[in-house]
Amino acid sequence: MIALVAKNILRFVFLILFQGLILNELNLGTWFVPYLYLLFILSLPFETPNWLIIPLSFGYGVCMDAFSNTLGLHAAACVLTAYTRPRILRLLAPREGYEFTMQPDIQSMGFTWFLYYAGILTLIHHACFFYLEVFHLSEFFNTLMRVICSSALTVLFMIIAQFVAYRPGQR
Amino acid sequence: MKNLRIFILKNYFFFLFLVFELVSVSLLVSTNNFHNSTFINSSSGIIGSLMDKKAQLMEYLHLDEINDELLQENANLKMLLKDSKYVIKKGKIVFTDSNSVVQYIYLPAHVINNTLSQQNNFLTLNRGSLDGVKKDWGVTTGNSIVGFVKDVSPHYCTVVSVLNRNFVLSVKLKKTNDHGLIRWDGEAISEVVLTGITVDAPVEEGDTIVTRGSSARFPENILVGLVTKVEQKPGSMHHHITVELATKFNSLYNVYIINNTFREEQKALEAKLEEPK
């Protein structure tokens, strides 16, 4: 339990710094903006209580906002992601339910499951983020393309991150 | 009352979400009005110093470009020296020091953080209120425009970049003095859109666009960029002009913050126009 908490705190700090200091520097044009930091909210354990996940995501978003001078923007997107996460988890649950030893990652849930899970939540997060950032609907389809392109890139980064962080024999 | 309490307890997850989402959005909206000073931003304490460390690291990666820029700027400054000018009518015009006073004071600064991928991009500079920096001062690279100061902390300041939906600047065509407004359309980081120049003005590709000096932020005739495309929408009285920015935002490092010493005077005088009689 303690190890699990420590691991998540480490992930919190590392992903914030990685996103704020390195990924934000990566400039692939306005259409491809990866937000890998979202992986923290996706990787929280299945048994994380509902009352914890929303305030936690809010704090996490505010930390991210401090790096990009957008107070409230990341926070709003993170809170929405945290709110939809339990619903998506229920939707994608295996027939016999989640076991205590399972973690929401490729290692224990498989590639297809993770692709659906990360894909849906990343789309929700990015849609909320980009539409709030533009703050009007006059360029609806332009923004939609940015949401889709950026989500694809973010999910790709998440998959790469999972393969880098876990060694293959560790199952 | 009891039913209400049961209802809220039963759906506490939704209400929790609603409260935090509303807080987030109201934070966003209240800080979007950007003359409000924001206290959580990249010019504040810990994150400011982290950004400083990152900037030191990035400095090494860009040394070549920075050297070139500095050389170019030195060359421009040398050109302005009295020694490098040829006096045509010797003895007829006499310049003494009392003929002119310094209006614009330049303060050198380094860019320690620079966002490019958002719709509202900002920079963080390593100068703050201890160096006398104030809100709304202009920022240039020495040759071309960068933005204006938004918030100031003791050691840092944040700058609204040209690549920000909230940045609008009055500019003019160098050859004819026709003036219009530039703003960023959120697409490419090398282009802005110039509007407000009427169709009878002779605009061509390659024309130079410079600042107009009306905003009290920038001096007159600072380079903005070159015209790359001129379009005319049917029925419109104005050209739709695309301007390629002279500033290379992805390798920005050395900048100057401009202190217009006549700013207060100009603003105070112009404020009288808006006062009711």
ipTM: 0.79
Q: Do A72 and B24 touch (CB under 8 A)?
A: yes
Per-residue model confidence (pLDDT) at position A147 = 92
Q: CB under 8 Å to B248, separation ≥6 — which residues?
A: B190
Sequence letter at residue B163: L
Per-residue model confidence (pLDDT) at position A156 = 93
Residue with the bigger pLDDT between A152 and B233: it is A152
Distance CA A140, CA B6 (A): 40
Runs of H (alpha helix) within chain B: 2-10, 12-32, 45-61, 63-80, 263-274
Nearest to B161 by CA among B205, B209, B194, B113: B113
Q: Do A71 and B40 touch (CB under 8 A)?
A: yes
Query: Once rounded to an integer, what is the mean pLDDT over residues B126-154?
Result: 89
Q: Where are the beta strands (DSSP E) in B83-221?
A: 104-114, 120-125, 138-140, 145-152, 157-164, 169-173, 179-183, 191-195, 208-211
Tens of pLDDT, residue by residue over B234-245, are 778 888 899 999
Chain A residues within an 8 Å CB radius of B50: 17, 20-21
Is the pLDDT confidence value at A84 over 60?
Answer: yes
| pTM over cut 0.90 | no
Residue with the bigger pLDDT between B20 and B96: it is B20
Beta-carbon contacts below 8 Å between A and B: 110
Chain A residues within an 8 Å CB radius of B188: 29-30
CA distances B132 to B51, B182, B218, B266, B276, Å, are 21, 29, 17, 20, 34
- Residue B53's Cβ-side half-sphere holds a number of Cα atoms within 13 Å equal to 9
For the CA atoms of B33, B38, B40, B41, the dihedral, rounded to the nearest 10 degrees, stands at 80
Is the pLDDT confidence value at A33 over 50?
Answer: yes
Query: Once rounded to an integer, what is the mean pLDDT over residues B220-240?
Result: 86
Closest chain A residue to the Cα of B55, Cα to Cα: A21
- Residue B253's Cβ-side half-sphere holds a number of Cα atoms within 13 Å equal to 19
Touching check for B50 and chain A: CB below 8 Å? yes
Rounded to the nearest angstrom, the gap between the alpha carbon of residue B198 and the centroid of all alpha carbons in its chain is 25
Query: Once rounded to an integer, what is the mean pLDDT over residues A25-51?
Result: 87
CA distances B137 to A90, B63, B140, B153, Å, are 53, 27, 10, 14
Over its C-alpha atoms, chain A yields an Rg (Å, rounded) of 16
Of A17, A61, A135, the CB nearest to B24: A61
With beta carbons less than 8 A apart as the criterion, state whether A61 and A18 touch: no
With beta carbons less than 8 A apart as the criterion, state whether A36 and A155 touch: no
**B94 pLDDT band (50/70/90 cuts)?**
very low
In a mutagenesis test of the B interface, which of A14, A51, A69, A83 is the best target, namely the one with the most B β-carbons within 10 Å? A69
Distance CA A27, CA B248 (A): 13
Distance CA A78, CA A72 (A): 10
